[in-house]
A and B are shown apart, each in its own frame.
Chain A
């Protein structure tokens, strides 16, 4: 809006103070996680002021990474998120192209079905998936969790990409087809490069969603392929919460997500509303 430049100095100062206050309050919990993870154990139990100075230490990180095999859990989370993303992007981009560029019987209903499926609460789906997976003896396997994750990430990718494919002018396609290129070649050599930004957003969000998942991992895994978020909640139990280790683990899990989110600034709204807002 207009007006900011004409504001008096005092009004501007007040404005910046309000903005600063909002940022401080909003970022405080994140500060708590990161600062606690750097505190020695005794400090966490005794020091009351969150702002009291302390000597940062990496003991908590050493503990979880090397003594509590958090590294393995991170590896599990990474593998599952990456494979889920590859599958969702591969099948999802094909399907999005299909929905965006063809009108066929049932195409409207089917694409709507894909959207609606995004809204199903995971608790509803995790229940039958658990029953089916355990009956097949596939509990605690990568495959089961990856398939479970595609149930939310594939519909997401399809809906995010449809507007990107629709945005490509029809002339591109027609020209290429006239040259005798087949549909699949048109898709790979013309469409994929043109929708590359969409593919990047889809990949990042799909990775984040899978990385962040807690419920499916909780229900479908127990020991071998336990993921990092489930491991964090595990630190809560046993001997009462060990805040140092938990916040260290929390900081490590948050790091890749924050980096990806900051990379994504330009497309964040499209990503969050999965393509609904343009």
Chain B
């Protein structure tokens, strides 16, 4: 824009900023835009969250009591000594850590493999992304089918390989493995696509220079690619982690948390206490611990992704 029109704008702004009416209008305009959304979020998000915080300070078993009774930090103190809670939390964290590590490794390897011009690369990429969009509930159902001991595909392949059939979902360890395999299958393409985009955005000259200097592929990877890609890797990990903390429908339909409590992640544990045992006070308190964990990761995310 030329200087003359800039001057005109400054001048006209000067006029409109005079006078109380315009000043007031200028203050109020932003809220006219963000206000309606914030009001709705206040109703559907903030209010329920505060309500749940209040409930977490009450004893409220809906089967026995019509009204909640104030017990202060009672529910939180109960959590401290409640082994079932800690086991659920441990399972939740192992689930997230194991799944995210495998997803990162597979996603990164495939991103490097795909990082070249080849015939059909676009179609292959589009197809690889489909699992991300598979509804968790459908994914859980599918893997329950695949891991069925009598007619499931998993045992079919195991037997072809000369290995014995496994009752996947009837044993604690293999059931836990199964829900992780399900998550890895569905979500490594998420890591892949973010890292692929990151890789294709790296400056080509750096790699050409390294190649001309005779750097080996491994050295290039370790000393150039990974350091350059570090911010992207970090963002991918955090986004995936926060998302994996939300895992619920797939486990609900795949194992229902069992056998025993072997796949009862914290989210399933909370659901059970809220909607099977109707112990709303305890469930609210436990759900606040889950929020707290998600918030820790979110803080990392904000620091890395959105700093301006």
Stretch at the interface among A54-62, A68-76, A194-202, A247-255: A247-255
Cα(A183)–Cα(B29), bound, Å: 8
B82 in the interface (beta carbon within 8 A): no
A181 in the interface (beta carbon within 8 A): no
* 8 Å CB contact of A121 from B8, B30, B294: B294
Contact between A23 and B127, CB atoms less than 8 A apart: yes
A190 in the interface (beta carbon within 8 A): no
B166 in the interface (beta carbon within 8 A): no
Contact between B287 and A214, CB atoms less than 8 A apart: no
A208 in the interface (beta carbon within 8 A): yes
* 8 Å CB contact of A119 from B145, B283, B298: B298
Min CB distance, A54 to chain B, in Å? 14
B63 in the interface (beta carbon within 8 A): no
Q: Map CB proximity to B onto A23-54 as digits: 1 under 8 Å, 0 otherwise.
A: 10011111011001000000011111110000
Please name all residues of chain A whose beta carbon is closer than 8 Å to the beta carbon of B274 when the two chains form the complex: 127, 130
A232 in the interface (beta carbon within 8 A): yes
Contact between A27 and B130, CB atoms less than 8 A apart: yes
Please name all residues of chain A whose beta carbon is closer than 8 Å to the beta carbon of B127 when the two chains form the complex: 23, 26-27
Contact between B49 and A178, CB atoms less than 8 A apart: no
Contact between A91 and B40, CB atoms less than 8 A apart: yes
Q: Chain B contact residues: over half helix, strand or loop, or mixed?
A: helix
Contact between A154 and B41, CB atoms less than 8 A apart: yes
| Chain B residue at minimal CB-CB distance from A112 | B302
Contact between B275 and A214, CB atoms less than 8 A apart: no
Min CB distance, A93 to chain B, in Å? 9
Chain B residues 30-53 with CB under 8 Å of chain A are 30-34, 36-38, 40-41, 43-45, 47-49, 51-52
- Summed over the interface, the residue pairs from A and B with CB atoms below 8 Å come to a total of 275
Please name all residues of chain B whose beta carbon is closer than 8 Å to the beta carbon of A130 when the two chains form the complex: 274-275
Total residues of chain A contacting the partner, CB 8 A: 98
Contact between B145 and A243, CB atoms less than 8 A apart: yes
B-side interface size class: 35 or more
Min CB distance, A251 to chain B, in Å? 9
Contact between B189 and A154, CB atoms less than 8 A apart: no
Contact between B38 and A214, CB atoms less than 8 A apart: no
Contact between A102 and B33, CB atoms less than 8 A apart: yes
| Chain B residue at minimal CB-CB distance from A46 | B151
Contact between A150 and B30, CB atoms less than 8 A apart: no
Contact between A94 and B37, CB atoms less than 8 A apart: yes
Known: A29-B139, A45-B151, A272-B194. A233 touches B253 (CB 8 A): yes
Please name all residues of chain B whose beta carbon is closer than 8 Å to the beta carbon of A16 when the two chains form the complex: 118
Known: A125-B49, A151-B41. A232 touches B141 (CB 8 A): yes
A3 in the interface (beta carbon within 8 A): yes
Contact between A30 and B130, CB atoms less than 8 A apart: yes
Chain B residues 94-147 with CB under 8 Å of chain A are 110, 113-118, 120, 122, 124, 126-139, 141-146
Can you spell out 5 A-B residue pairs with CB atoms less than 8 angstroms apart?
A: A95-B38, A123-B246, A214-B135, A229-B138, A246-B145
Which residues of A are at the interface with B, using a C-beta cutoff of 8 A? 1-5, 15-16, 18-19, 22-23, 26-30, 32-33, 36, 44-50, 87, 91-92, 94-95, 97-99, 102, 104, 107, 110, 112, 114-117, 119-125, 127-132, 147-148, 150-151, 154-155, 158, 171, 174, 178, 183, 187, 208, 211-212, 214-215, 218-219, 229-230, 232-233, 236, 241, 243, 246-247, 250, 253-254, 257-258, 261-262, 265, 268-269, 272-273, 276-277
- A15-B113, A49-B156, A117-B41 given; name 20 further pairs at CB < 8 Å: A4-B117, A19-B118, A27-B127, A28-B153, A30-B130, A48-B156, A115-B302, A119-B301, A121-B291, A123-B267, A127-B52, A127-B270, A128-B52, A131-B55, A151-B41, A154-B41, A233-B252, A246-B141, A258-B133, A277-B232
